[in-house]
Amino acid sequence: MSYNLLKGKRGIIFGALDENSIAWKTAERVHEEGGTFVLTNAPIAMRMGQIDALAKKTNSEIIPADATDLDDLENLVQKSMEILGGKLDFVLHSIGMSVNVRKGRHYTDQKYDWTTKGWDVSAVSFHKVCQTIFKADAMNEWGSIVALTYMAAQRTFPDYNDMADNKAYLESIARSFGYFFGKEKKVRVNTISQSPTPTTAGKGVKGFDGFINYAEKMSPLGNASAQDCADYTVSLFSDLTRKVTMQNLFHDGGFSNTGVSQEVVEEFSED
């Protein structure tokens, strides 16, 4: 269902790799709601992914950018304003990667240049995106910037490895930049803390199947899907949430506030 919530709004969507990606579903929903945008991803991901099909479907242009590279980001922001015909109203940062996770390196045995690469891609890239936009004065007033995160930033999930630390860093950047963006530009900055979701990044976490099934049983409303996340993101891009900023917003079917569910108790009951 479309409500035209984003009619006339322009933006940039980072991180659509394939049709499972949260950014992919979000791009489709934003398009349905009347928003126009530029799609971007790392050059290498473009060769692997199917982003052309998404661009065609949503009448969007694609500008490659490594989100850790300031020259790429400056080019992306300037070109996006030219293509879209004005300043931006929304930005989605949907980017995450840990080399330690990818290569199966345990949390207690990290290779620190991989750790550094991981926090640059997963957290500092968000600061770089915000700073590039801030300096270029590229957002309209009451615009909205959203990044995606996971609850391992607050509570320990052993196999989430150094991504937990990266997410804590990312959430802190949203609060800190949110202050300056709010004061000086009337722009909101938030993170959405999403349920486990079967995407390329999600399935890269060891034991993902057990993890997602457990979360499903623990959440009174069940896990939030990528499609649900797209809907929630649209609401944060819309004018209906103008005073929501500097928040980490749990979007997880109630998981984060559930001590234990009846289903999980029954799994462990002996009678």
Applying CB under 6 A, among 92, 201, 215, 236 the residue interacting with ligand NAI is: 201
Residue 96 binding ligand NAI, by CB under 6 A: yes
CA atoms within a 13 Å half-sphere pointing along the CA-CB vector of 3: 7
Residue 253 binding ligand NAI, by CB under 6 A: no
**How far is the C-alpha of 111 from the C-alpha of 76, rounded, in Å?**
32
Q: How many helices (H) and strands (E) does the chain have?
A: 12, 7
Contact 21, 200 (CB under 8 A): yes
Mapped onto helix, strand or coil, the DSSP state of residue 261 is: coil
Ordered strands of the 188-194 beta sheet: 61-62, 36-40, 10-14, 88-93, 139-149, 188-194, 248-251
Minimum distance from CB of 94 to ligand NAI (Å)? Answer: 4
Contact 89, 140 (CB under 8 A): yes
Residue 219 binding ligand NAI, by CB under 6 A: no
The tokens 């499609």 sit on which residue?
227
* Closest CB to ligand NAI among residues 149, 245: 149
Applying CB under 6 A, among 33, 66, 162, 171 the residue interacting with ligand NAI is: 66
Mapped onto helix, strand or coil, the DSSP state of residue 229 is: helix
Residue 173 binding ligand NAI, by CB under 6 A: no
Taking contact as CB under 6 A, which single stretch among the options 11-19, 111-119, 137-145, 213-221 is the one that binds ligand NAI? 11-19
Ramachandran region, residue 52 (left: φ > 0; alpha: ψ -120 to 50; beta: rest):
alpha
Taking contact as CB under 6 A, which single stretch among the options 20-28, 84-92, 180-188, 233-241 is the one that binds ligand NAI? 20-28
Applying CB under 6 A, among 5, 6, 39, 45 the residue interacting with ligand NAI is: 45
Minimum distance from CB of 125 to ligand NAI (Å)? Answer: 6
Tell me the site size for ligand NAI, rule CB under 6 A: 27
Residue 22 binding ligand NAI, by CB under 6 A: yes
Applying CB under 6 A, among 5, 6, 12, 17 the residue interacting with ligand NAI is: 17
Contact positions vs ligand NAI (CB under 6 A):
14-15, 17, 21-23, 41-42, 45, 66-68, 94-97, 121, 148-150, 194, 196-197, 199-202
